[in-house]
Amino acid sequence: MSTIVEQKTRLRIKDILSARPVGQELTVKGWIRTARDNKNVYFINLNDGSTLSNLQVVADPETLSKDLFARCTTGACLSVKGLVIESPGSGQSVELKLISMEVLGDADPQVYKLQPKKHSLEFLREIGHLRMRTNTFSAIMRIRHALAFAVHKFFNDREFVYLHTPIITGSDCEGAGEMFRVTTLDLHNIPKNDKGEIDFTDDFFGKETNLTVSGQLEGELGAMALGQIYTFGPTFRAENSNTTRHLAEFWMIEPEVAFNELEDNMKLAQDFLQYLIGYALEHCKEDLQFLNGRAEEENKNKKQEERDEMGLLDRLRFVTENPFEHITYTEAIQILKSSNHFKKGKFKYPVEWGIDLQSEHERYLVEKHFKKPVILTDYPTGIKAFYMKQSEDGKTVRAMDVLFPGIGEIIGGSQREDDLEKLIKRANDVGIKEQDIWWYLDTRRFGNAPHAGFGLGFERLVLFVTGMTNIRDVIPFPRAPKTAEF
Ligand code: 4AD
Ligand code: MG
């Protein structure tokens, strides 16, 4: 009962700082960022996660005993009753004059690892259970939330249906074979059949299953019934890529639209990305301003040739205001081959028609050549997934990747192959068995129609919007090779 009553008078710091209710008595609850004693006036900076800004609590020995103040250390959690007053100091507009206080939870400074000083991002990853209590990570998490909300708003406003596709599946959508297995078989005693193969009939689902790498195949089934759908869920890839752009568990948004062709798909992708970034610019001003400053500092420490030409906010605005460049894969190879960068042998990986573009190639096109986002289309069939629509030329597919500065590929998608014969042949070529995707092939047998879709890697988007450089810093608890703590 008492907590409910208290909750009624408890105000969030964000609301206090914006409403400035001078003269009002109220209760605030939050965690101490810093506390100091200045000639017997105590200053405690509280943060409750509602905003980047702290609320300054002021007290003197009459209202706050020395013993109680001694427990006011960084990280401790307080409930403070006080009077809102105009702040005489600079840096904040109002502050809270303490009336009474309770320590809800102590944080022993001898062992509490998060101290009010600059910690490296690497160190903060080791204390992932605490890092959301820093300015940087709380700002990132609030922006991540705003972007997730904006994803749903964008599609809801356009009357797309949010389709929940399964997390456990029996198929490998991307055909890359980088899947985490799902099984209840006894790993010490795996049942085998006569041929010595694993006998999955005894397994939980009676067949081989894995965590999904994409919701697309089921998404297509939805599009062929509901017209336009999107998925937004976790996806899992067991690729052993220890990079700043890959996670083993990441969130993906996959719209799929009946009757759309490649050009419509490209337009949807651009509209979607510009909307999301615009939404963050409008709704996350304080946090973005803070991260903008952070990125500026980082930039100063970089070597001249590696410095970003634009600040974070300018970069975000630039992307929302300018149309993306459209080129084909074949044109991209020509540009790369005739670049000075190539001629001077500065690319680590070869450039040849037919190769899978490496991140260095993608970033050269975006950052050095066009200096804006690029949509690359019409890739060689051999380097793309089986479901992509094959072109008349017999060599390429109607694929599209959206490439972003600092990120490389942020979206991958395509028009889908709607010719059943071609689809089956291509699936066979890459080793996907017809009987495993009979239900997917049925969409081409019954009420077939052109359709297209794409996947946006949510963390790559958050990476771009926050200006962070390692994908492990834009998800609360990253999963990557040898990394599954917390
Ligand atoms: O290009 P991908 O593999 O495409 C698909 O999965 C399609 N089924 C999408 C579709 O057409 N519906 O992945 C899509 C996006 C990539 O562009 C990238 O942004 C992100 O997902 N992504 C990853 N993000 C973090 N870690 C990883 N390991 C990622 N792999 C892909
Ligand atoms: Mg891709």
Ligand (nearest to CA of 356): 2
Atom 2 in ligand 1: residue holding the nearest Cα: 412
Residue whose structure tokens are 């909750």: 7
With a 6 Å cutoff on the Cβ, whether 457 touches ligand 1 is: yes
CB 329 within 8 A of CB 377: yes
Judged by DSSP in three states, 203 sits in: coil
Of residues 301 and 225, more confidently modeled: 225
Ligand (nearest to CA of 255): 1
The beta strand positions in 240-309, using DSSP E, are: 249-258
Ligand 1, residue 401: give the atom nearest the CA: 17
The CA–CA distances, whole Å, from 160 to 93, 157, 255, 355, 420 equal 44, 8, 8, 36, 26
Q: Give the model confidence (pLDDT) of 306-349 as tens digits.
A: 888 899 999 999 999 999 999 999 999 999 999 999 999 999 99
Q: Which of 180, 235, 250 to mutate to test the pocket of ligand 1 (most atoms within 8 A of CB)?
A: 250
The DSSP secondary structure of 353-369, one letter per residue, reads TTSPPPHHHHHIIIIII
Judged by DSSP in three states, 154 sits in: helix
With a 6 Å cutoff on the Cβ, whether 247 touches ligand 1 is: yes
Q: What is the DSSP letter of 416?
A: B
Residue 143: HSE in the Cβ half-sphere, 13 Å Cα cutoff: 34
CB 56 within 8 A of CB 96: yes
- Mean pLDDT taken over the chain: 95
Q: Give the model confidence (pLDDT) of 44-89 as tens digits.
A: 999 999 999 999 999 999 999 999 999 999 999 999 999 999 988 7
Give the integer Cα–Cα distance in Å for 387 and 399: 10
With a 6 Å cutoff on the Cβ, whether 453 touches ligand 1 is: yes
Structure-block tokens of residue 315: 């970069």
Q: Give the model confidence (pLDDT) of 199-233 as tens digits.
A: 999 999 999 999 999 999 999 999 999 999 999 99
Rounded to an integer, the average pLDDT of 255-269 is 98
Atom 15 in ligand 1: residue holding the nearest Cα: 457
CB 164 within 8 A of CB 152: no
Atom 28 in ligand 1: residue holding the nearest Cα: 246
Ligand 1, residue 255: give the atom nearest the CA: 12
Residues, the chain, total? 486
With a 6 Å cutoff on the Cβ, whether 260 touches ligand 1 is: no
Report CA(361)–ligand 2 centroid distance (Å): 14
So what's the pLDDT on residue 3?
43
With a 6 Å cutoff on the Cβ, whether 478 touches ligand 1 is: no
Q: Phi and psi (nearest 5°) for 15?
A: -70, -35
With a 6 Å cutoff on the Cβ, whether 250 touches ligand 1 is: yes
Structure-block tokens of residue 374: 């690029």
Report CA(438)–ligand 1 centroid distance (Å): 24
So what's the pLDDT on residue 309?
84
Give the integer Cα–Cα distance in Å for 235 and 225: 23
In the structure, what pLDDT confidence band is assigned to residue 241 with cuts at 50, 70 and 90?
confident
Give the integer Cα–Cα distance in Å for 83 and 58: 10
Q: Give the model confidence (pLDDT) of 29-49 as tens digits.
A: 999 999 999 988 999 999 999
Report CA(292)–ligand 2 centroid distance (Å): 29
Give the integer Cα–Cα distance in Å for 229 and 253: 10
**Residue 408 contacts by C-beta under 8 Å, 6 or more apart in sequence?**
245, 359, 362, 363, 366
Structure-block tokens of residue 180: 């985490």
Report CA(473)–ligand 1 centroid distance (Å): 18
Q: Phi and psi (nearest 5°) for 398?
A: -80, 65
Ligand 1, residue 241: give the atom nearest the CA: 28
Structure-block tokens of residue 395: 């060599």
Query: What residue type is 205 in one-letter code?
Result: F
Look up the pTM and report it: 0.96
Report CA(272)–ligand 2 centroid distance (Å): 18
Ligand 1, residue 411: give the atom nearest the CA: 17
Say whether pLDDT at 1 is over 60: no
With a 6 Å cutoff on the Cβ, whether 174 touches ligand 1 is: yes
Give the integer Cα–Cα distance in Å for 286 and 199: 56
Give the integer Cα–Cα distance in Å for 185 and 391: 44
Rounded to an integer, the average pLDDT of 382-386 is 96
With a 6 Å cutoff on the Cβ, whether 411 touches ligand 1 is: yes
Report CA(464)–ligand 1 centroid distance (Å): 15
Ligand 1, residue 461: give the atom nearest the CA: 19
Q: What is the DSSP letter of 477?
A: S
Atom 22 in ligand 1: residue holding the nearest Cα: 457
Report CA(456)–ligand 1 centroid distance (Å): 6
**Residue 81 contacts by C-beta under 8 Å, 6 or more apart in sequence?**
25, 26, 27, 98, 99, 100, 101
Ligand (nearest to CA of 455): 1
With a 6 Å cutoff on the Cβ, whether 216 touches ligand 1 is: yes
Give the integer Cα–Cα distance in Å for 358 and 341: 14
Report CA(370)–ligand 2 centroid distance (Å): 21
Ligand 1, residue 248: give the atom nearest the CA: 28
Maximal C-alpha separation, the chain: 85
Of the candidates 2, 439, 75, the one whose C-alpha atom is nearest the C-alpha of residue 222 is 439
Atom 26 in ligand 1: residue holding the nearest Cα: 246
Q: Phi and psi (nearest 5°) for 53?
A: -70, 150
The CA–CA distances, whole Å, from 348 to 161, 225, 344, 353, 361 equal 43, 46, 11, 16, 9
